[in-house]
Amino acid sequence: MGARTLQRLNSVLEAEAEALRWAILTVTNLDYRMVIFETDSKMLVEAMMDENPRPILSVVQQDIQTLLPRVQAYQLVFSLREGNRVADRIIAQETHSFQDDVPKLYSCMSEWIILFIEDDKMTL
């Protein structure tokens, strides 16, 4: 799990693609070989499956396509935002409080995150 601030981008789709690029870079630097990337952007999943890059994503999409072979086995899946409220409510919202542009990476789950995950399980 991780979060980082991004420079101002032109669209939500562009922000989602930048987040995916950062996630791929992060997991490959950690030498993870089997990864499931989840996003609540159906449009991003569709764009990544499309062989013709969308103009707004062309550079980022090409970077992602170049980086993905570094992961031995991966999936990019759409997941409703309600299916991962911890990421949406806690991690993503936390970026608003960042004092600097230093990304935050959680290599193990803190107790406070576990409590929110348990809460999510109860509401599903």
Residues whose CB falls within 8 Å of the CB of residue 104, separated by 6 or more in sequence, listed in order? 2, 3, 4, 94, 98
Averaged pLDDT in 10-residue chunks for the chain of 124 residues: 70 88 90 90 90 79 90 90 65 58 63 72 64
Which CATH number is 2-123's, of 3.30.420.10, 2.60.40.3140, 1.20.1440.130, 1.10.1040.10?
3.30.420.10
Give me 78's structure tokens: 């759409």
pTM: 0.73
Phi first, then psi: what are they for 102, rounded to 5°?
-75, 125
User: Are residues 89 and 3 in contact, defined by beta-carbon separation less than 8 angstroms?
Assistant: no
